[in-house]
Amino acid sequence: MENAATRLETVRSNIARVCKPARREASSVTLIAVSKTQGPEAIQPLIDAGQRVFGENRVQEAEGKWPALREAHPDIALHLIGQLQSNKAEEAVALFDVIHSLDRPSLLSALAKAMDKAGRQVPCFVQVNIGDEAQKGGCPIAELPAFLAQVRAADIPLAGLMCIPPADTEAAPFFALLVKLAADNGISGLSMGMSGDYETAVMLGATHVRVGTALFGARG
């Protein structure tokens, strides 16, 4: 019978296995358990199994379920992995420990203002529109150097680059492109890899993988 603890063990050992030939410590990869659409009853077993980093894609959904869980487990870190509207910047800064979806100047100024007001610095990944998809969020590749300069000037802690490759295609070339963009811009943090491709992402250098279904089973 597969349960949360065994699924967590499987994902962790898969990460450790691909770290070895890459000569990386497994601890250099942060496993983010993506708990969007999952209720507290599905999340609790993972907390009990030792998982402490979780990811949500909606501010409002996270506000509904996390305050109680975090009160019981203050060492939990919460990552925002979904698109963020500028008018939710204050709520996001109050609730999340890391934001993965900084992708445009208007959001940058909203976040900088919110962090200043709250007196709380929240590290941000700059999301890159790695497959140049019109419907997806993310900074266009051509605009990345200029946007990174703006982020650095705004004095927001830059955690790294993040991408979501196009669906139904081989992810590896997109991960490799993100690695190159990071290197070109002197950045070491890489948020890439989901349930179907986190091992590939780790092999290529991911520092943060965002894994939902492989940990929770079916969607909640």
Binding site for ligand PLP (CB under 6 A): 34, 36, 57, 81-82, 164, 194-196, 210-214
The residues near 49 (Cβ < 8 Å, ≥ 6 apart) are 4, 5, 8, 9
Cβ nearer to ligand PLP, comparing 111 with 191 = 191
Cβ nearer to ligand PLP, comparing 65 with 113 = 65
User: How many residues make up the chain in this entry?
Assistant: 220
| Residues 180 and 166: beta-carbon distance below 8 Å | no
| Residues 133 and 162: beta-carbon distance below 8 Å | no
Cβ nearer to ligand PLP, comparing 154 with 210 = 210
| Residues 190 and 182: beta-carbon distance below 8 Å | yes
Shortest distance (Å) from residue 69 CB to ligand PLP: 19
Shortest distance (Å) from residue 12 CB to ligand PLP: 15
Produce one character per residue of 193-209: b if its CB has 16 or more CB atoms within 10 Å, e if not: bbeebbbbbbbbbbbbb
**Which residue has the CB atom at the shortest distance from ligand PLP?**
212
Cβ nearer to ligand PLP, comparing 154 with 164 = 164
The CA–CA distances, whole Å, from 170 to 4, 144, 201 equal: 28, 23, 11
Shortest distance (Å) from residue 194 CB to ligand PLP: 4
Shortest distance (Å) from residue 70 CB to ligand PLP: 20
Cβ nearer to ligand PLP, comparing 125 with 147 = 125
Shortest distance (Å) from residue 101 CB to ligand PLP: 8
